[in-house]
Amino acid sequence: MKKVEFYKILMQNILHHADIGIHVIDKERKTVIYNDVMARLEGLKREQVLGKDILDIFPSLNEETSTMIKVLHTGESILNRTQTYLNFKGQRITTINSTIPLYNEDEIIGAMELSNNITHIKNLSDQLIELQSELKFKKSPSKNSKSQIKRYNFHDIIGISEPIEMAKEVAKKACNSNSSVFIYGDTGTGKELFAQSIHYGGIRANGPFIAQNCAAIPETLLEGILFGTDKGGFTGALEREGIFEQANGGTLMLDEINSMSLPLQAKLLRVLQEGYIRRIGGTKDIPIDVRIIATTNESPLESLKKGSLRKDLFYRLNVIFIHIPPLVERSEDIPILTDYFISKFNLLLDKKVESVSKDVLDYFMEYTWPGNVRELANVIEGAMNIVDDNETLLTRRDFISSIHLMKDKSYRYPFVFGQRNKSLPVYLEEIEKNLIINALENNHNNITKAAEELGIKRQTLQHKLKKFRI
Ligand SMILES: Nc1ncnc2c1ncn2[C@@H]1O[C@H](COP(=O)(O)OP(=O)(O)OP(=O)(O)O)[C@@H](O)[C@H]1O
Ligand SMILES: [Mg+2]
């Protein structure tokens, strides 16, 4: 096969299989490439577009507003621009587009548009904003909605270790001020618990508390969520207040602040210093009075070193610093937390458990708890579901059967007890058995898939199932 032929086939495959919309025009503005994904996005057929002048296909565009034509003229890329529009089938679509000029040496020979469909994410973020603004106006929630809103207070923070006592003390002092708070703690250590306790225990308790995760939402949307949008901010944008406005008079928790892009961090800093925001596409300065609680699960020193957190922003936010160490570093909290979750689930599940058996508690004291307090709560909840209604002790058995709760890859560690009393082969066998049970549960007892996950042959797995009598 000739090389050219090979590249042609390769090219067609890439175009056909990529999950991104691709549209290429030549310098006469005629479409030369238009893949299926783009056709679906825009609600057109490929035949309607190929070979035609772009302005004939999209009559609502002109030389000024078409990004492709603009790029042909300027020779400069337009990157990561969010667009919301009605496509030819009348569907409301949101995409992130990049338009890139194509050069042959110094001469522009065309332009390419790459389009990423984020409609479902946009819809989710819209719902989020609406829910949050509903919550804002429900200051004293009805009985029904109350169960859905977590409202934590200091008495919900359980722990007797020195670091927890200290963190609580600092947090209580933070209640009486409006200064920014920076909370650093691993996942599941109780950052939100502390943030809410500070809000609801403080002078802003009657104002709204809003939490926003900065890592879960694409950059281009996050800015709109924070600061709001005015009509015309970008194509099809609605007029809407951002969560800074929604949290006015209250507290805004910015979760995983180190995941925010550096330019957005700079904007945030400006807002905090100047005390007003401007919606995207807007012209009005809106004064805001919001207390910020920022959190990260990475040491801020590390983030500063890596450059994922701006120094100036960190100093602005780090007026009050709270560090919550991982559970493994404060194992003296484990027994009291265990009792606390047992009482909690006794109430919820109508059980009569009084404690865990000694070997379970020993194991708890030695286990590393990568998911911290959240993981401990989940493990106990699992066992409380298993234990008989009249049983007063949670034993090893109740926990072994709740292994499925630890599905997350980082948790997938065999729950093996009393390991030090066993010979190495017996211990290894037990680990192997647990891994197999895990894989089977993960794959709904499908042996082929479980074998795949374990990286062994189906026959080998069948042999082991027999051997271990699983
Ligand atoms: N000291 C504690 N006492 C009682 N419950 C706790 C404690 N710490 C954490 N929890 C519970 O553990 C769960 C996780 O806490 P939270 O959501 O505050 O963690 P987080 O640090 O925000 O985690 P992530 O980084 O994953 O968002 C919650 O159900 C919370 O009530
Ligand atoms: Mg959290």
CA distance 66 to 409: 46
What is the pLDDT, as a whole number, of residue 420? 46
Q: How many CB atoms lie within 10 A of CB 135?
A: 17
291-296 and 181-185 strand pairing: parallel
- Ligand 2 centroid to Cα of residue 394, in Å, is 29
C-alpha of residue 313 to centroid of ligand 1, in Å: 25
Q: Provide the pLDDT for residue 133.
A: 66
Q: How far is CA 79 from the centre of its chain?
A: 24
Alpha carbon distance 224, 123 (integer Å): 13
Determine the straight-line distance between the first and last CA of the chain, rounded to whole angstroms. Answer: 53
Q: What is the pLDDT of residue 418?
A: 42
Which pLDDT does position 63 carry in this prediction? Answer: 83
Q: What's the pLDDT score for residue 218?
A: 83
Residue 192, ligand 1, Cβ within 6 A: yes
User: What domains, with CATH codes, occur in the chain?
Assistant: 3-117 (3.30.450.20), 121-137+150-325 (3.40.50.300), 330-411 (1.10.8.60), 422-470 (1.10.10.60)
pLDDT at 438: 81
- Look at ligand 1, atom 5, and give the residue with the nearest C-alpha: 157
User: Within a 13 Å sphere around the CA of 300, how many CA atoms are in the beta-carbon half?
Assistant: 21
Residue nearest to ligand 1 atom 23, measured at CA: 188
CA dist., res. 196 & res. 206, Å (int): 12
Nearest CA to ligand 1 atom 27: 187
Rg (CA), the chain: 28
pLDDT of residue 401: 53
CB 356, CB 343: distance < 8 Å? no
pLDDT of residue 10: 87
Instruction: Tell me the backbone φ, ψ of residue 143, rounded to 5 degrees.
Output: -55, -40
* 3-class SS string, 312-324: HHHHHHCCEEEEE
259 Cβ below 6 A of ligand 1: no
CA of 190 to the centre of ligand 1 (A): 3
**Residue 126 confidence (pLDDT):** 74
Q: Distance from the CA of 296 to the center of ligand 1, in angstroms?
A: 13
- DSSP tag of 109: E
Determine the pLDDT at residue 61: 78
Q: Is the CB of 242 under 6 A from ligand 1?
A: no
- Return the pLDDT at 422: 58
| Per-residue confidence (pLDDT) for residue 144, from 0 to 100 | 34
Nearest CA, atom 26, ligand 1 = 187
Minimum-distance ligand 1 atom for the alpha carbon of 196: 18
183 is written with which tokens? 């909370």
DSSP per position, 112-147: EEEEEE-HHHHHHHHHHHHHHHHHHH-SS--HHHHT
* Probe target for ligand 1 pocket from 374, 375, 410, 411, with the most ligand atoms within 8 Å of CB: 374
Q: Over the chain (470 residues), what is each successive 10-residue block's mean pLDDT?
A: 85 85 94 92 90 86 86 92 77 87 92 90 75 60 40 92 95 93 96 96 92 86 90 63 93 95 95 93 92 96 95 95 95 96 94 92 86 92 90 86 42 42 69 84 88 91 88
